[in-house]
């Protein structure tokens, strides 16, 4: 019985996020089982490179390495169409001599064998590259010098669009078979998908960057909105020291220069410094910058936030109770901690006002093994259970349009996380809600020289 030819259908299955499940099938006539094995090895290597990496350079190099190493071809090159569509740029190669690499760095679109394949979308194979008139003169001379005989070039496609070309060459006189052409076309299709995935990945990153910038702008607007909301409280705080200043100035105008004047000037100096400190704190609060850790007394931060909000809390009929036990100093950004406390207090204030136009706000501070815990409780309606998992999500809000953008708690959650702490919310059995902030003692920021020494290491 005459020996039968070996036939195989090679199906390469792979999944790429965002592109779905794809199947590439290519019918091949393989005269020797070893030939089928080699082709399967190439397809497996290329498929794994495409499916496991979004690094385009890595994918291209692995594909070319598989083609040359497994099949035994001496050279391989990959060209991609330039952004302006006028030329082909060498983006990967294996085995090219210096001269052949030089003449292949940039090829005119539509000229020469490779340029025509890219323009027409039809693959080409030649038996003796040194005599092929379609090769550019410089390329024909280089392949002749290197002894390249057989040569094949196929287009790289993705989404019905030609992206470039994939070429193979060898020094033997063996002709490229239909099966080898089919293999090369299959590999080119996978490279095309890898290129398209890289494009989609880059586009997603660009859109995410745009989204982050837009979110940062919204967060900045939220901060400015919070500052505007503080205006009444700040005006009240500044008014007290300024009243003292004016009274003392009036006293100076009616008193002879002497000891009393000197004492009055001291009072003026203290009050003016207090006013400047309030304004400075407000400016720092409005800035968005990375944490600058320093020794921080939480009791002082609670006191300042309540001072900021005092006028508004009183206007809304909300009484404040504080229960602050001695707690260790922590290393934290005081202005960022104030921002967190302010968002949480304002959230409770809004809930109580909306529920019954009055309320009791209770703030407690307790030391813990790792640092300290702050709780802010209200006697409002509590948080609907279906909202609890989402209240720290950006832009989540139950307020009416114009009353908030749903960023305050999200920003607070991020700040506490940056300090190595936790922020969460729960409903109280007796009614109302409680926000808990755990902050570690932390560590001071390393000195600049320490950072430099670590960098050198």
Q: What is the pLDDT of residues 291-335, one digit of tens each?
A: 788 899 999 999 989 988 888 899 899 999 999 999 999 999 888
Residue 455: band (very low, low, confident or very high) from pLDDT cuts 50, 70, 90: very low
Whether residue 209 lies inside any domain: the answer is no
Calculate mean pLDDT across residues 59-63.
75
Q: Examine the domain organization and report whether 361 and 407 are in the same domain.
A: yes
| 286 vs 25 pLDDT, higher one | 286
Q: What percent of the chain has pLDDT over 90?
A: 25
On the CB side of 229, CA atoms within 13 Å amount to 24
Q: Which tokens is 372 given?
A: 């300290």
Q: Examine the domain organization and report whether 429 and 309 are in the same domain.
A: yes
Give the pLDDT of residue 318: 94
Q: Examine the domain organization and report whether 158 and 302 are in the same domain.
A: no
Q: Examine the domain organization and report whether 436 and 322 are in the same domain.
A: yes
pTM above 0.75, yes or no: no
Whether residue 82 lies inside any domain: the answer is yes
Q: Examine the domain organization and report whether 186 and 42 are in the same domain.
A: yes
Give the pLDDT of residue 457: 36
Whether residue 177 lies inside any domain: the answer is yes
Residue 31: band (very low, low, confident or very high) from pLDDT cuts 50, 70, 90: very low
| 415 vs 252 pLDDT, higher one | 415
Decide if pLDDT at 70 tops 80.
no
CB neighbour list of residue 74: distance below 8 Å, 6 or more residues apart: 68, 95, 148, 169, 170, 171
Residue 428: band (very low, low, confident or very high) from pLDDT cuts 50, 70, 90: very high
Calculate mean pLDDT across residues 337-356.
90
Q: Examine the domain organization and report whether 311 and 395 are in the same domain.
A: yes
| 197 vs 236 pLDDT, higher one | 197
Whether 377 and 344 have beta carbons less than 8 Å apart is answered as no
Give the domain extent around 247: 230-287
Q: Which of 4-8, 386-390, 413-417 has the lowest mean pLDDT?
A: 4-8
Other beta carbons within 10 Å of 89: 15
Q: Examine the domain organization and report whether 332 and 418 are in the same domain.
A: yes
Q: Burial, 12: exposed, middle or buried (Cβ in 10 Å; 0-12, 13-18, 19+)?
A: buried
Quote the CA–CA distance of 341 and 374 in Å, as a whole number.
9
Q: Burial, 334: exposed, middle or buried (Cβ in 10 Å; 0-12, 13-18, 19+)?
A: buried
Quote the CA–CA distance of 219 and 407 in Å, as a whole number.
7
Whether residue 216 lies inside any domain: the answer is no
Assign residue 237 a region (left: φ > 0; alpha: ψ between -120 and 50; beta: otherwise): alpha
Q: Kindly report the average pLDDT of the chain as a whole number.
A: 77
Whether residue 211 lies inside any domain: the answer is no
Please report, for the domain that includes residue 141, its CATH number: 3.30.450.40
Please report, for the domain that includes residue 424, its CATH number: 3.30.565.10
Give the pLDDT of residue 105: 92
What are the φ/ψ torsions at residue 434 (nearest 5 degrees)? -135, 130
Whether residue 214 lies inside any domain: the answer is no
Q: Examine the domain organization and report whether 321 and 450 are in the same domain.
A: yes
Our count of domains for the chain comes to 3
Residue 195: band (very low, low, confident or very high) from pLDDT cuts 50, 70, 90: confident
Calculate mean pLDDT across residues 33-53.
65
């Amino acid at each position: 019985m005459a020996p039968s030819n070996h036939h195989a259908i090679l199906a390469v299955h792979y999944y790429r996020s965002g592109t779905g499940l794809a199947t590439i099938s290519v019918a091949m006539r393989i005269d020797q089982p070893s030939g089928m094995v080699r082709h399967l090895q190439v397809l497996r290597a290329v498929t794994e490179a495409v499916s496991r990496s979004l690094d385009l350079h890595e994918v291209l190099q692995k594909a070319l390495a598989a083609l040359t190493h497994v099949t035994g071809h001496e050279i391989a090159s990959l060209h991609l169409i330039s952004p302006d569509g006028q030329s082909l740029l060498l983006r990967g190669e294996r085995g090219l001599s210096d001269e052949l690499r030089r003449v292949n760095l940039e090829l005119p679109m539509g000229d020469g064998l490779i340029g025509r394949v890219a323009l027409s979308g039809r693959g080409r194979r030649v038996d003796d590259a040194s005599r092929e008139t379609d090769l550019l003169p410089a390329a024909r001379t280089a392949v002749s010098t290197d002894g390249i005989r057989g040569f094949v070039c196929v287009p790289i496609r993705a989404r019905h669009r030609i992206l470039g070309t994939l070429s193979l060459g060898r020094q033997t006189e063996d002709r490229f078979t239909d099966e080898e052409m089919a293999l090369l076309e299959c590999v080119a299709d996978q490279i095309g998908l890898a290129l398209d995935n890289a494009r989609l990945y880059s586009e997603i990153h660009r859109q995410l960057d745009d989204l982050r910038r837009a979110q940062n702008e919204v967060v900045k607007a939220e901060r400015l909105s919070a500052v505007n909301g503080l205006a009444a409280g700040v005006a009240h705080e500044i008014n007290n020291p300024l009243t003292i200043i004016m009274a003392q100035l009036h006293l100076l105008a009616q008193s002879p220069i002497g000891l009393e004047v000197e004492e009055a000037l001291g009072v003026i100096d203290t009050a003016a410094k207090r006013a400047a400190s309030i304004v400075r704190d407000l400016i720092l609060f409005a800035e968005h910058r990375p944490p600058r850790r320093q020794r921080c007394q939480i009791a002082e931060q609670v006191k300042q936030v309540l001072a900021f909000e005092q006028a508004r809390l009183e206007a809304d009929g909300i009484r404040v109770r504080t229960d602050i036990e001695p707690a260790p100093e922590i290393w934290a950004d005081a202005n960022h901690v104030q921002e967190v406390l302010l968002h949480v207090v304002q959230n409770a204030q809004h809930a109580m006002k909306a529920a019954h136009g009055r309320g009791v706000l209770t703030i407690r501070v307790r030391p813990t093994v790792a640092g300290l815990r702050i709780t802010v409780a209200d006697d409002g309606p509590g948080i609907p259970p279906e909202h609890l998992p989402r209240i720290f999500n950006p832009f989540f809000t139950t307020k009416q349009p114009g009353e908030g953008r749903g960023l305050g708690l999200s920003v607070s959650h991020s700040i506490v996380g940056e300090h190595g702490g936790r922020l969460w919310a729960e409903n109280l059995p007796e009614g109302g809600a409680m926000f808990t902030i755990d902050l570690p003692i932390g560590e001071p920021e390393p000195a600049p020289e320490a950072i430099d020494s670590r960098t050198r290491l």
